[in-house]
Amino acid sequence: MKPISGQFLEYLRFSYESLSANKIRFLLTTLGILLGVTAIIVIFTAIQSINAYVEGEFSSIGSASLYLDKFPWVITGNYWEFRNRPEITVEDYKNMKDRVPTARWVSPQIEAMRTVTYRGKSLEDVYTIGTNDQYAFTDDAITDIGRFFTEMEVYRANPVCVIGQNVMDELFEKENPIGKRIKINGHPHRVVGVLEKKGSFFGFNIDNQVIIPYTTFQGISFHRRGISIAFRADNPRDIDNMREEIRGEMRRLRKIPPAEPDNFSINQQDMLTEFYNKITGTSYLVVFIIAAISLVVGGIGIMNIMLVSVTERTKEIGIRKAIGATRRNILLQFLSESVTISSIGGIIGIILGVLIAQFLLSYIKLDASVSLTTIFIGYFFSAIVGIISGMYPAYRAARLNPIDALRYE
Binding stretches for another protein (CB under 8 A): 2, 6-7, 9-10, 13, 17-18, 20-21, 315-316, 318-329, 402-403, 406
- Single-letter amino acid, residue 155: Y
Q: Which is nearer to another protein, 61 or 330 (CB)?
A: 330
- Single-letter amino acid, residue 251: R
Query: Could you give the C-alpha distances from 105 to 96, 134, 135, 166, 196, in angstroms and in order?
Result: 11, 6, 8, 27, 21
Q: How far is the CB of 342 from another protein (least distance, A)?
A: 21
Q: How far is the CB of 311 from another protein (least distance, A)?
A: 16
Cα(310)–Cα(394) distance, integer angstroms: 8
Q: How far is the CB of 336 from another protein (least distance, A)?
A: 13
* DSSP annotation of 100: -
Query: Could you give the C-alpha distances from 337 to 312, 340, 342, in angstroms and in order?
Result: 14, 5, 9
Query: Could you give the C-alpha distances from 334 to 2, 20, 264, in angstroms and in order?
Result: 18, 15, 66
Handedness of CA 308, 314, 320, 325 (dihedral sign): positive
Longest dimension (CA), the chain: 105
Q: How far is the CB of 9 from another protein (least distance, A)?
A: 8
Q: Which is nearer to another protein, 27 or 50 (CB)?
A: 27
Q: How far is the CB of 14 from another protein (least distance, A)?
A: 9
Q: Which is nearer to another protein, 17 or 262 (CB)?
A: 17
Q: Which is nearer to another protein, 210 or 398 (CB)?
A: 398
Q: How far is the CB of 295 from another protein (least distance, A)?
A: 30
Q: Which is nearer to another protein, 18 or 374 (CB)?
A: 18
Radius of gyration in angstroms for the set of CA atoms belonging to the chain, rounded to a whole number: 33
The DSSP result for 104-134, as a single string, is EEEEEEEEEEEEEEETTEEEEEEEEEEE-TT
CA dihedral 266, 143, 112, 364 (to 10 degrees): -90
Q: How far is the CB of 321 from another protein (least distance, A)?
A: 6
73 by Cβ neighbours in 10 Å (0-12 / 13-18 / 19+) ranks as middle
Q: How far is the CB of 302 from another protein (least distance, A)?
A: 20
Q: Which of 400, 378, 380 is nearest to 334 (CA)?
A: 400
Q: Which is nearer to another protein, 17 or 151 (CB)?
A: 17
Q: Which is nearer to another protein, 297 or 308 (CB)?
A: 308
Query: Could you give the C-alpha distances from 35 to 39, 152, 153, 195, in angstroms and in order?
Result: 6, 65, 64, 48
Q: Which is nearer to another protein, 308 or 352 (CB)?
A: 308
